[in-house]
Amino acid sequence: MSELSHGPETRKFRRYRAKLQSLKSSPHRSEQLQARYLLDLARTSRFVELNGVVHHYHDSGPHDGRGTVLLIHGWDCWWLWWHHVIRALNREGYRTIAYDLRGHGWSERDTGGNYSTDVLTDDFTQLVDYLDLEAFHVAAFSYGPVIALQYAHRCPGKVQSMVLFNFGLSESGLVVEQIAPAIITFTFNSVLRQVGWWLPVYMFARLVLSRNTVLKSDILMAFDSLGLCDPKAIEQTTREIASVRVAVEVRRLVREIEVPVLFAAGEGDPIMTCENTRKLADLSASARFCCVPDCGHLMTIELPETVSQLILDHVSRVAS
């Protein structure tokens, strides 16, 4: 590993672990089982300081197996959105590393409020260097693909393949750039993040974002990600997502990408439609496109088996 310092457990992690420990004594069997499951997962959680911010990453599966897959979560999410996929890839002999972006999940918040895409990509780069990874695959969803594309451009030869979920061409322009961030930030920071009960948030996700019924345990996990995410991260990344500059940059990065990329979109995704994803994939000679039927924007928890199989198939295809 590099000389970056191994960080202490973050306060967010310790609080969450304490909550899980208390739930082991819950009168509800389902809560007991979920707490034990998450505590077991957390046994391979690690912490490292990257660019002055302590980050959490989860490292599991064989280090001498079939390969390594780095998992990058999306906007206002955290590493546990990958937990089904982690288990599936580990069973197939792959090492997985799923980390929390700064200000998300169990990673510390940036006291300076710097959550630009460039800084997030710097963090990812330092994590790869810290882990001494020479070659690996990447799977990312929603906002995560922007980081993956930037890294692949910065460090050619490291990334063997990429699978990008729920990510496509954004409808950008001066009007969208000015209005969209305010609407999205208000919805998530001033409304959903202030709700103390998971059911209204689930109803919003089910009616707007998802096309499938999701396990209650995954609903609660997703609800927790709202409370763990720094509202400043939402404000800043939303402005970048909606900006003309980032939209132009994403097109350039996709045109120049040389590693095999699979773009996968949900047929019922109202945010990143199949059509917009296909248009982005068409910009690259090394890209393939897949439209997943009966799926919305929350693919990793709506259809985790499908997500896992798409990654496995793509990685195997590249290896052959």
- Residue 286 has, within 13 A of its CA and on its CB side, a CA count of 16
What pLDDT is recorded for position 37? 96
Q: CB within 8 A of 309, min separation 6: which ones?
A: 88
- The pair phi, psi for residue 39, each rounded to 5°, is -65, -35
The answer to whether residue 189 sits within a structural domain is yes
The answer to whether residue 5 sits within a structural domain is no
Smallest Cα–Cα separation from 71: which of 54, 91, 53, 56?
56
Low-confidence ranges of the chain (pLDDT < 50): 1-5, 173-175
The answer to whether residue 3 sits within a structural domain is no
- The pair phi, psi for residue 58, each rounded to 5°, is -110, 125
What pLDDT is recorded for position 307? 98
- pLDDT tens digits for range 54-106: 999 999 999 999 999 999 999 889 999 999 999 999 999 999 999 999 999 99
The reported pTM is 0.92
Asked if residues 151 and 121 have their Cβ atoms less than 8 Å apart, the reply is yes
The answer to whether residue 216 sits within a structural domain is yes
What is the domain range of residue 132? Answer: 11-319
The answer to whether residue 141 sits within a structural domain is yes
What pLDDT is recorded for position 167? 93
Split into its structural domains, the chain has a count of 1
What pLDDT is recorded for position 1? 46
Q: CB within 8 A of 86, min separation 6: which ones?
A: 41, 58, 60, 61, 71, 96, 98
Asked if residues 315 and 69 have their Cβ atoms less than 8 Å apart, the reply is yes
The answer to whether residue 125 sits within a structural domain is yes
The answer to whether residue 79 sits within a structural domain is yes
The answer to whether residue 2 sits within a structural domain is no
Q: CB within 8 A of 47, min separation 6: which ones?
A: 6, 7, 8, 9, 10, 13, 54, 55, 56, 57, 106
**Tokens 């990447």 sit on residue:** 138
Q: Say which CATH number the domain at 69 has.
A: 3.40.50.1820
- pLDDT tens digits for range 113-147: 999 999 999 999 999 999 999 999 999 999 999 99
Asked if residues 305 and 276 have their Cβ atoms less than 8 Å apart, the reply is no
